Amino acid sequence: MKKVVLITGASSGIGAATARALAGAGHQVVLGARRVDRLRELAESIGGDHRALDVTSLSDFQSFVDYAAERHGRVDVLVNNAGVMPLSRLDEGRVEEWNRMLDVNVRGVLNGIAATLPGMKERRSGHIINVASIGAHEVSPAAAVYCGTKFAVWAISEGLRQEATEGVRVSTISPGVTESELADSITSPEAREAMREYRKIAIPASAVASAIAFAIDQPSEVDVSEIVVRPAA
């Protein structure tokens, strides 16, 4: 069944790979991100729709959802994928980077839920997919705040799953090391070097996209609560 799927952070990495996979499977994708030029190019190449989106703004997220509903009649699925990862040790005191992670990784997810859940609840149909991380399950040096935000995503998803109206599904996708631009935002020299070593073994973003597609394509009575995807090595 063709679904209207909203994807945040869709201009690169997992978001872009998910857009390609779902559009290829016949779904109508609506892509949101801050980098509009890249977003437009991707949308045109796969026959999708797009709109500039700042997930840290509830009003902007609501406008994104309203745009999709007006253009395509409804919103079936939200893929809350946007995230940032400027890793650093806590004793470096990079407070602005901590706050950025909280704003994008946590508040962005909550804004997506706030903007889409009422409509899904009213229709008694919908699917919210939150992209967490293996960092929601394990903590490493320089990743305390990032892992904290991703554990929050996991906890929020689980709470939403338990509260959800019949017909509304909730899934958490937790990728391990994945080829993406996330590490480009790391300004701490120590953390950047550690991440360079850590990412020598990584799975392609398409592997995570396949997991997301699997969760979406299950029958309506089946809720895929969580998938962890990581390198076999």
Known catalytic residues? Answer: 146
Q: Where are the alpha helices (DSSP H) in 48-104?
A: 58-72, 95-101
Sign for the pseudo-dihedral over CA of 163, 169, 174, 179: negative
CA 102 centroid distance within chain: 14
Distance separating alpha carbons of residues 136 and 152, to the nearest angstrom: 8
CA of 85: how far to CAs of 29, 52, 155, 180, 206, in Å?
25, 21, 19, 11, 20
Residue from 174, 212, 232 nearest 20 by CA: 212
